[in-house]
Amino acid sequence: MTKSELIAELAAANPHLLSRDVEIIVQTIFDEITAALARGDRVELRGFGAFVIKHRDARTGRNPRTGDAVDVDEKHVPFFKAGKELRERVNRNAGRKRRAVTSSDNAADRL
């Protein structure tokens, strides 16, 4: 799903809003998360996850093609850690499939 598809689906679910407004709302959310991280803040959305900044020390890297040593400056990287609820929802499909196999095995045993 892309951002425009997300906007279209939300607009369809909220017919009282103009799709242009939905677009501004979606854009505002992600712009504000970006701005918060740029300020050095963390963004915590319970049940969904948290966006945090991780610090990476300066290091000597290598050009993978030539093998030359290159200095890499220290930097900050954005990192997302999925919340418990979302992590479980994402993993639920795999779990459901495994459980489905087990229950059909049991059914086979009974026959």
Partner 1 sequence: MTTVTRAHLAEHIYSQVGLSRHESADLLEGVLEKIAATLEEGHSVKLSGFGTFSVRQKGRRTGRNPKTGVEVPIMPRSVLVFRPSQILKNGVNEGSGTKRMKAGREA
Site for partner 1, rule CB under 8 A? 1-3, 6, 9-10, 13-14, 17, 21-22, 24-26, 28-30, 32-46, 48-49, 53, 55, 73-80, 82, 86-87, 89-95, 98
Q: Return the structure tokens found at 17.
A: 């809003």
Shortest Cβ 18–partner 1 spacing (Å): 10
**Alpha carbons 48 and 46: distance in angstroms, whole number:** 5
Query: Computed over its alpha carbons, how large is the radius of gyration of the chain?
Result: 22
Shortest Cβ 81–partner 1 spacing (Å): 9
Cβ atoms of 53 and 40 within 8 Å: the answer is yes
Shortest Cβ 59–partner 1 spacing (Å): 14
The nearer residue to partner 1, 21 or 104, going by C-beta atoms, is 21
Shortest Cβ 100–partner 1 spacing (Å): 14
Cβ atoms of 48 and 56 within 8 Å: the answer is no
The nearer residue to partner 1, 73 or 111, going by C-beta atoms, is 73
**Alpha carbons 109 and 55: distance in angstroms, whole number:** 55
